[in-house]
Structure 1
Amino acid sequence: MKQYIKADEWKIIEEGFVPSYNKISESIFSVGNGRMGQRGNFEETYTGETLQGNYIAGVYYPDKTRVGWWKNGYPEYFAKVLNAANWIGIRVQIDGEELDLHTCTVESFRRELNMQEGYLQRSFTATLPSGKQVAVTSTRFCSIVDDETGVISYSVTPLNFSGLLTITPFIDGDIKNQDSNYDEKFWDEISRDVHPSGAFITLRTKKTGFDVCSGMHFCVTQRGEQLDLPTEAITKEKFVGISCSLAVKANEETVIYKYAANLSSENHPREQLLSACEMQVNAIVAKGFDMMLQEQKEAWAAKWAESDIVIDGDVSAQQAIRFNIFQLNQTYTGEDARLNIGPKGFTGEKYGGSTYWDTEAYCVPFYLATADARVTKQLLLYRYNQLGKAIENAEKLGFNKGAALYPMVTINGEECHNEWEITFEEIHRNGAIAYAIYNYIRYTDDKSYMADYGLEVLIGIARFWNQRVNWSEARKQYVMLGVTGPNEYENNVNNNWYTNMLACWCMDYAIQSVQFVRESAPDKFRTLTHKLQFNDAEEIGKWQHIIDNMYLPVDEERGIFLQQDGFLDKEQILVKDLPADQRPINQKWSWDRILRSCFIKQADVLQGIFFFEENYDLDTIRRNFDFYEPRTVHESSLSPCVHAVLAAKLGDERRAYEFYLRTARLDLNDYNNDTEDGLHITSMAGTWMSIVHGFAGMRVQNDRLIFNPFIPGKWKAFSFNIAFRSAIINVQINKEGVHLINRSAKAVNITIEGKEYLLNAHTKLDIKTEKVNVEVV
């Protein structure tokens, strides 16, 4: 664990330059806008250890995965979100000497991510090998107003000399991914164009044929006046730049403004890509840096008004939750149903940048409560639009008659995960898709979604489970063989409780949904049954028989759900008894040893209880929690948040807070020694759940918002806004009680600690022990 980030409520601050931390900081200081993202790399040359990273949403490469032991049904490729052209580059030379913090003496250094206003600022003073000393300040952001653009202000001030400053703003498309095999590069150049103050380059991905045009314009100012300087075009393969030189004086600032755009053929006609990029660059140049920054601040203010969580009394916790919310809002905006949320977002290349079940299980609750319902609906439509591919994926594995198996990893609907035990076995992801539909409708009351889109997906998923189980003559029950549950430290197990339980729930929910659509939208139901060749009486009968006769492993003596057959045959060692030098086990142990151990990577049985806790009494939840958590090593970023919410449910405030801190500062403190690969974006939504579902105890049940809150000991109070069925509710929780403000024209039914209230439009509700005060606002 590292603790070099300074505490601040609204900023992420690094003071002093430690080269060994640079790749970690590049991840932490990433900026993005839902269309593009940029790691916290330096604009000037840096020859030290770095992961240069700029990523364009939806652009990927199908890396070959076929190997000697390839089997039928195995994915043909592993999709990679590609490192795209480096648009931030500004080469700086002083009297011919390169500015490079790897070769300079860094006298002072500060990197600051302003989360409130949405920009990254860096300042340093460095002494070059010649003894010349310069001060540099750079400010940059990816605009969330003009979401295909980014802009940079870069100032250079000589401190102990006068001389010749040469600057070369450039776009470099000659890049590769960190994990490229044999330094393979994935882009071909299509065209390039350079004129005195701007340059454009169009690149095309190999195999997939995505075109991306990157363009830039720059200007140089001194004393607030723009200079008219002679320039020289610099061009080479996949590279365009413009160089100019000017005399500089000691203590006189020179500012370079660089405006850039990245446009993809996914969003613009290929033949118009260059002209569209030129128009976009010209548009932001006309605005100017100051106007763009003001627009950025205003746009972020609107986002924070929706999604902020305010914590009084704990700066570290406040900084952490805002960092997580900031990165989530930078990653996904809901503007495009073709896009989704990769585990690393736009901050790194690990996991290929593709979509996992993380979105439905962890991210959907965040967007439901902090944004317009349209944003979450786009995430659901992403899966609906890929239903045909999910049916194809199932067919590759031998399923038929419209059975749908959604991929474990995808970017276009096809399965592209390159580990067989995940691709074939971790089929519980299907249940997360169904659960997201349930969660969306329960939360928004958008029942029309079921008839328009949801039921078709649910039928495909139910058909899959119907074919995936088999009847055991020995047990006289249905069983599910050869699966991997959420605990990926066990593969090819039989009767994983979570998977079996979830399969039953999916089929039951599909039955309920069939009945609902048949009654509420009969015309749509007839059209759908014809399209799907759905025999509701026959298929529902089979689903119900499976539900009624599914084997769900339990240990009667301990009163727990058994993670899978044979789990208790393992040697039962607790995590607390593991020597510290043996952890993390995924870096210290062989895979064979991990698979034979009882250690759990992340919530498995507890994931099911987390989803459906209303089905279990507190004693049942406590017995399972007390058995499984001590065996959980939490080596998945998705693990601590589930445990935080359940610990809060059980009134275990100490452990709830410990788990919150672990998930909240996972990247800021580099808990797992892997932040340099990119941030854990999807688990950040779990941080939000740890507070809102955990400490505030918020649930939606029977069309009501429910709260069962407590305050961690270090906190004085915390507050947040909740968007719920067209209402906006401000929730404030302090030592005296719960304070609610309805900022909308719609009344909301609310339950607090078991007592029911009606929060009328534009009213305030203060609840203190047995006293309720209602005040019109």
Structure 2
Amino acid sequence: MLNYNKTLTESLKNWTFSEEKFDPLLLGKCESIMSLGNGYMGLRSATDEPYIGETRNLFVNGTFNKFDENEVTELPNAADVTRLDLFVDGKRFSLEQGSTQDYSRVLDLRHAELVRSFVWESPEGKQIRYTFRRFVSLDQVHVIGMKLEVTPLNGEIDFTVRSGINAQLSNTGSQHFHEGEKRIFDKKYLQLLQTTTESKVDFVMHASHQFKLQGQAVELMPKMDIDRRKIAMEYSCKIASGETLVMEKISTVHTSRDKAFEGQGLAVMREAALEQLKQADAQGYDALFEQHKQAWSKVWEQYAIDVETEQPFDLLAIRFAIYHLVVMTPAHDNRMGIGAKGLSGEGYKGHSFWDTEIFILPFYIYTRPEIARSLLEFRYLGLEGARRKAKENGYEGAMYPWEAAWPTDGEVTPVWGAVDIVTGLQTKIWSGFIEQHITSDIAYAVWHYYKATGDQDFMDRYGYEMLFDTATFWASRLEWDESASRYHINEVIGPDEYKEHIDNNAFTNYMAHFNMELAIQYYEELKATRPELLTSLEEKLGLAAAYGVWTDKIGQIYLPAPNENNIVPQDDTYLTLETIDLTKYKKQKKVGSLFLDYSLDQVCKLQVSKQADIMMLFFLLENKFSPEVKRANYNYYEPKTLHDSSLSLSTHSILAGDFGDIDLAYDLFRRATEIDLGPNMHSSDAGIHSASIGGIWECIVMGFAGVRMLDGHLHLNPKLPKSWTGFKFPLYWQGARLEVHVTRDTLNIVTVSEQELELIIHGSTIKFHKELNVQF
């Protein structure tokens, strides 16, 4: 179904991939992986003409709403502007009728444009060439551009297009908007005003159309239609054989979440939004698209990564990853996070997980530090909800929600999930209650960002407070075990979500210890060097008492140690559980096949893991464990890991590279790239996998280049897959942009920074100014 070698022009080689055959039963994949966006909004790439089974989604970042008090807050599915109802000689056009030749739907990653074209022959024998184009502007983030070209090839046709703004949509049944107000100005400009039911976010949607026949503008008199939650225009004309009718549709989206309209009122927003539509309509598709292309050219200059390889798919995959990282990230607003499905689908309801801090944030730390800071400021703004969650659960400090939406919302994880195949009941989702490592993951990310960037202003304003209050949570969370004379962390879920209600998950315990360790270190540093700052934080957080608790407890936290076989127990019981033959599940074509045979309660009693758990610990705190311990645990746990989470493969790839098994590292990297971009045509129905996409970049930069920040020092340990001869990537370190080029036997780093830089290459400390050349 997917062609990874589609080349529209030579300049787009390894920049595009395509769907080569239309299948109405396989709509979701391309809707997701070809989705468009700009961080402000995301548009799922449903076909222009409608089909049963399609999912039309338009999400605006940060506009969360709760349909009902018993529902979960989610990004509301805004009104659709992409649907076109097309009629040829009075009959509805559909690819499910007639026949199709030369079908192609292409996502051009370089220019962020979706292009679909084909020749369609109607049941009556009329042949028509269609071309559909679409983009979501990166230059004017409120603008969506569409273009339709229709050319009859063997006779005149009567052609009709019905287009507008359709709010007769929901989030899988949940309706998030009031009816709203609809209006048409000058028989041309369509306007829909709607407000979310609970959060009271105003949406202002506009659309306009213009037509050209054989390159000349034509005025087509529309039939206007306003109905419940819907506003539309219908245009008709005759098109002679060989002539081309072009329709351009420009739409704009604004909401009261926009900082530009804070405190301004709906009347001001609707007037400004209508004026922007008129200006965009006057510019037209081509001019708007040219500006959009220029904005994307700056993106590719900023993230200039290249792979010299015999496998061009690898280069396409990293470009695919960077493309989606850009379109999903709200770089414009620190009040917003990144959803686990980005803005490409309704999966996970637009909520942010630890995916951001562990799998996506490193990309921005080392390529656009200012965006990394914005994402961490989102977590700072979430302290209010985190403190509320801690208090509600009987703890102190800040206990971050497993799933986050608007920063002050607190915990928004759904309580109920899929069916239990044994009982027939809905399975309770315990993550929001007991998957608590998210708190130390965020603390780790604060430390990672600070050490890599040296951003002292961030720490003074936000970072120290986050580290101190999360440490206070962990200190209150510890439970004293009298028989063992130590502190435990009981009744949790670790990264391996196939193990619920466990005690002393190694990842959780070590990361909590690390969180408290950081707080003690920075408290003592501030006391010695920045007493005035410590005093201001003391007044807010009661740090003197907290420091006493941290130092009293930290030395008594149980940190599971390697046993006689060098295996670190994942939790108190994992190594005692029953083992089963996992061969068929390891070979599964669809994740979660284990649950066709077992319930979650049964899986909890087996030595089987969903994803990296101990391996995540070795990745984040790698210098706390010997290579022998890490390898022994890799050999023990990986055969028991089904990689049912998209987070898992990239971590295992990086660690395999650390062990020197480059073939395995590359194989796991390729498998990670194929989670979304691969041949499984149902893998991405609910949306792309944000963390896995961040993991693709991590595999290359943190895996094959061996980039790590350890104890405040930048390490590089390059090792190339067999099919690669070299690769290049940018890397920011302490405010300096480095251009890194790795080949089989050389490392070249160039920077325009005037400062002397210090790196550790294959364990040797090297200082350089402007340029570094190392021979391996």
TM-score (norm 1): 0.93
User: Cα 1:610–1:702, aligned 2, differ >3 Å: closer, same or farther?
Assistant: closer
Among 222, 242, 250, which residue is 1:259 paired with?
250
- Contact 2:654–2:702 (8 Å) recurs in 1: yes
Match in the other structure for 1:155:
149
User: Cα 1:219–1:581, aligned 2, differ >3 Å: closer, same or farther?
Assistant: closer
Q: Is residue 248 from structure 1 mapped to residue 239 from structure 2 by the alignment?
A: yes
Match of 2:677, SS state, is: coil
Match of 2:26, SS state, is: helix
Q: Is residue 687 from structure 1 mapped to residue 696 from structure 2 by the alignment?
A: yes
Question: 2 CA distance for matches of 1:576 and 1:719?
Answer: 38
Q: Is residue 327 from structure 1 mapped to residue 336 from structure 2 by the alignment?
A: no
Deviation digits for residues 363-414 of structure 1 (CA, Å, limit 9, x no counterpart): 110111121x2211111111111211111111111224xx211100121231
Among 20, 23, 32, which residue is 2:28 paired with?
23
Among 273, 277, 283, which residue is 2:279 paired with?
283
Match in the other structure for 1:553:
560
Q: Is residue 198 from structure 1 mapped to residue 226 from structure 2 by the alignment?
A: no
Question: 2 CA distance for matches of 1:238 and 1:653?
Answer: 56
Deviation digits for residues 477-520 of structure 1 (CA, Å, limit 9, x no counterpart): 11111011000000000111111111111111011111223334
- Contact 1:134–1:156 (8 Å) recurs in 2: yes
Instruction: Extract structure 1 runs of 4+ deviating beyond 6 A.
Output: none
Question: 2 CA distance for matches of 1:265 and 1:333?
Answer: 16
Match in the other structure for 1:337:
334
Match in the other structure for 1:53:
57
Match in the other structure for 2:541:
532
Question: 2 CA distance for matches of 1:499 and 1:630?
Answer: 22
1:607 deviates by: 1.0
User: Cα 1:110–1:746, aligned 2, differ >3 Å: closer, same or farther?
Assistant: farther
CA RMSD of aligned residues (A): 1.9
- Contact 1:450–1:513 (8 Å) recurs in 2: no
Q: Which moved more, 1:8-17 or 1:561-570?
A: 8-17
Match of 1:732, SS state, is: strand
Match in the other structure for 2:360:
363
Match in the other structure for 1:120:
114
Superposition map of 1:354-503 within 5 A: 354-371=351-368, 373-400=369-396, 403-412=397-406, 413=408, 414-419=410-415, 420-503=429-512
Match in the other structure for 2:37:
32
1:581 deviates by: 6.5
User: Cα 1:443–1:83, aligned 2, differ >3 Å: closer, same or farther?
Assistant: same
Match of 1:676, SS state, is: coil
Superposition map of 1:556-705 within 5 A: 556-573=563-580, 575-576=582-583, 580=587, 584-669=593-678, 671=680, 673-701=682-710, 703-705=712-714
Give the letter for the 1:165 counterpart: F
Q: Is residue 10 from structure 1 mapped to residue 1 from structure 2 by the alignment?
A: no
Q: Is residue 542 from structure 1 mapped to residue 553 from structure 2 by the alignment?
A: no
Deviation digits for residues 113-163 of structure 1 (CA, Å, limit 9, x no counterpart): 111111111111112233222111111110011011110111111112203
Deviation digits for residues 193-214 of structure 1 (CA, Å, limit 9, x no counterpart): 1132220111122222211111
Match in the other structure for 1:220:
211
Q: Which moved more, 1:409-418 or 1:476-485?
A: 409-418
Q: Which moved more, 1:289-298 or 1:741-750?
A: 741-750
- Contact 2:585–2:594 (8 Å) recurs in 1: no
User: Cα 1:167–1:672, aligned 2, differ >3 Å: closer, same or farther?
Assistant: closer
- Contact 2:506–2:569 (8 Å) recurs in 1: yes
Q: Which runs of 5+ in 2 are unaligned?
A: 7-12, 416-428
Superposition map of 1:108-147 within 5 A: 108-147=102-141
Match in the other structure for 1:504:
513
Q: Which moved more, 1:556-565 or 1:743-752?
A: 743-752
- Contact 1:191–1:203 (8 Å) recurs in 2: yes
Question: 1 CA distance for matches of 2:214 and 2:2?
Answer: 39
Match of 1:81, SS state, is: coil
Give the letter for the 2:34 counterpart: F
Question: 2 CA distance for matches of 1:307 and 1:528?
Answer: 37
Give the letter for the 1:380 counterpart: L
Match of 2:72, SS state, is: strand
1:610 deviates by: 0.8
1:602 deviates by: 1.0
Question: 2 CA distance for matches of 1:577 and 1:210?
Answer: 48
User: Cα 1:588–1:216, aligned 2, differ >3 Å: closer, same or farther?
Assistant: farther
Match in the other structure for 1:73:
none
User: Cα 1:484–1:604, aligned 2, differ >3 Å: closer, same or farther?
Assistant: same
Deviation digits for residues 419-447 of structure 1 (CA, Å, limit 9, x no counterpart): 34211110011011101100110110112
- Contact 1:197–1:217 (8 Å) recurs in 2: yes
1:6 deviates by: 4.3
Q: Which moved more, 1:286-295 or 1:630-639?
A: 286-295
1:577 deviates by: 7.1
1:650 deviates by: 1.1
Question: 1 CA distance for matches of 2:709 and 2:504?
Answer: 30
Question: 2 CA distance for matches of 1:94 and 1:589?
Answer: 52
Question: 1 CA distance for matches of 2:490 and 2:188?
Answer: 64
- Contact 1:46–1:102 (8 Å) recurs in 2: no
Match in the other structure for 2:422:
none
Question: 2 CA distance for matches of 1:542 and 1:173?
Answer: 54
User: Cα 1:539–1:574, aligned 2, differ >3 Å: closer, same or farther?
Assistant: farther
Among 74, 80, 89, which residue is 1:86 paired with?
80
Q: Which runs of 5+ in 1 are unaligned?
A: 67-76, 770-777
1:555 deviates by: 4.6
Give the letter for the 1:130 counterpart: E
User: Cα 1:588–1:670, aligned 2, differ >3 Å: closer, same or farther?
Assistant: farther
1:726 deviates by: 2.3
Deviation digits for residues 703-739 of structure 1 (CA, Å, limit 9, x no counterpart): 5432111110111221111122222211111223212
TM-score (norm 2): 0.93
User: Cα 1:513–1:474, aligned 2, differ >3 Å: closer, same or farther?
Assistant: same
User: Cα 1:519–1:291, aligned 2, differ >3 Å: closer, same or farther?
Assistant: farther
Question: 2 CA distance for matches of 1:449 and 1:273?
Answer: 33
- Contact 1:308–1:322 (8 Å) recurs in 2: no
Q: Is residue 270 from structure 1 mapped to residue 266 from structure 2 by the alignment?
A: yes
Count of residue pairs brought into register by the alignment: 746
- Contact 2:179–2:194 (8 Å) recurs in 1: yes
Question: 2 CA distance for matches of 1:318 and 1:686?
Answer: 15
Superposition map of 1:310-325 within 5 A: 310-313=306-309, 314-325=311-322
Q: Which moved more, 1:448-457 or 1:141-150?
A: 448-457
Give the letter for the 2:294 counterpart: E
Question: 1 CA distance for matches of 2:588 and 2:489?
Answer: 37
